[in-house]
């Protein structure tokens, strides 16, 4: 797949992080404009999706023992994302939670980024097993690597045809010497590769 720089205007907005004693509730309060969640914690990966009722459903509710619960004390980072925006929550070097939003600009807003490269990244998983609420448990390899993705996946796959993709948008900026480089990245969507 050829990588192309294309016009994808965006703005970056800082988001105030308040009380994080209930991380799931804070993420739920932010979730209305997003479709998916990908969180990394000390004890594993947590996937999630915003259902048709606007509720954030996380993988720990359908894959107990595979996916850890969302807890602020173990969270490294969490990303709520859709094709229009991404809200990133991360733990800084002082162990404080910070947050920012990258989104499409409103009319008249000063742009932070103008150009980007979209890239599908392959995710682990060759053996799908259906779970509740539209999740699928994906297993891979002799080590039994597993994660519960917020998608319905069916079929037979091998290491050459892993079906899952995570689309990432890399924003391009110019450095002090005039060279173009990637200055920020955000998640766009998760899905099944249609190309096989």
- Tens digits of pLDDT across the chain (196 residues): 678 999 999 999 999 987 778 899 999 999 989 999 999 999 999 999 999 999 999 999 999 889 999 999 999 999 999 999 999 999 999 988 999 999 999 999 999 999 999 999 999 999 999 999 999 999 987 777 899 999 999 988 888 888 999 999 999 998 889 998 999 999 999 999 855 4
Angle ∠(99,102,103) on CA atoms, nearest 5: 135
- Specify if 186 maps to a domain: yes
Same domain, 43 and 18: yes
22 and 101 part of one domain: yes
List own/partner pairs for 53-58 with CB under 8 A and 24 or more apart.
55/28, 55/31, 56/24, 56/27, 56/28, 56/31, 57/133, 57/135, 57/150, 58/24
Residue 6 lies in a domain: no
Asked if residue 100 and residue 122 are part of one domain, the reply reads no
d(CA 59, CA 117): 29
128 with 88, same domain: the answer is no
In a domain, 2, yes or no: no
CA quadruple 114, 37, 79, 183: dihedral sign? negative
84 and 24 fall within a common domain? yes
Query: Are 23 and 101 found together in one domain?
Result: yes
Q: Note if the pTM is more than 0.85.
A: yes
The reply to whether 126 and 179 lie within a common domain is yes
Domain that holds residue 80: 12-105
Q: Are 114 and 22 in contact (CB under 8 A)?
A: no
Overall domain count for the chain:
2
Same domain, 97 and 124: no
Domain boundary among 57, 72, 105: 105
């Amino acid at each position: 797949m050829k990588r192309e720089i294309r016009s994808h205007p965006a703005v970056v907005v800082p988001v105030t992080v308040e009380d994080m004693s209930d991380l799931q509730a804070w993420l739920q309060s932010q979730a209305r404009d997003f479709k998916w969640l990908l969180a990394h914690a000390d004890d594993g990966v947590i996937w999630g999706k915003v259902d048709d009722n606007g509720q954030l459903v996380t993988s720990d509710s359908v894959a107990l023992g595979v996916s850890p619960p969302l807890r602020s004390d173990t969270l490294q980072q969490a990303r709520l994302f859709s094709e229009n925006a991404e809200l990133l929550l991360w733990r800084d070097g002082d162990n404080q939670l910070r947050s920012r939003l990258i989104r499409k600009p409103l009319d008249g807003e000063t742009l932070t980024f103008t150009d980007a490269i979209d890239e599908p990244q392959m995710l682990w998983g060759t053996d799908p097993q259906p779970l509740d609420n539209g999740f699928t448990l994906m297993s891979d390899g002799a080590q039994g690597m597993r994660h519960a993705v917020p998608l319905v996946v069916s079929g037979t796959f091998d290491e050459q045809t892993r079906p899952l993709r995570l689309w990432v948008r890399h924003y391009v900026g110019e450095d002090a010497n005039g060279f173009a480089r990637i200055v920020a990245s955000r998640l766009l969507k998760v899905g099944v590769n249609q190309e096989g």
